[in-house]
Amino acid sequence: EPNAQRVETYSRDFVEGILRTMEPEQFENLVAGVLRAMGYHADVTQLSGDGGVDVLASKDTLRLQPPIIKVQVKRTTISIGGPTVQALIGTLAPGGGELALFVTLGNYSNEATHIARTRQDVRLLTGAQFMDLVFEYYDKLDAEWQRLLPLRLVHAVDRNL
């Protein structure tokens, strides 16, 4: 019997499968696309020599007003460690006008999570949290992403209500 939980699980597995097979550059562009759907101005940086920053985002079109969000994107499903998170933090300019966001399809080590908890300027998004954002902002994603992730809103039986 189709039910809400099965439909949701199938849809999440489907999206995760597509995300895992994306080229790293394509995944960076999707992260920027989700940030744009959320109301940010986001651009992917050059592929090499980016200093570990894959996407720059801001609420200000010209990025003149803080905060500037520096995003590192890893399409990996392995656990991201503390040194990798520290490297992203190292790209932040002093003075608090910049924030760090790390996006991965996997999770984070205890050390990385501890680092993020002790800092106001760092956020870590797991693969599950990123997929939550994809589903939440799906209707605001550009058409190219909607074609790649063909989803539609469905009503399904949920006997748990």
- Which tens digits make up the pLDDT trace of 126-160? 999 999 999 999 999 999 999 999 999 888 888 88
Q: Which residues of the chain are under the pLDDT cut of 50?
A: none
Residue 63: what pLDDT? 87
pTM: 0.93
Mean of all residue pLDDT scores within the chain: 94
| pLDDT given at position 49 | 63
| Strand residues in the chain grouped as ranges (E) | 41-44, 55-58, 68-74, 98-104, 122-125
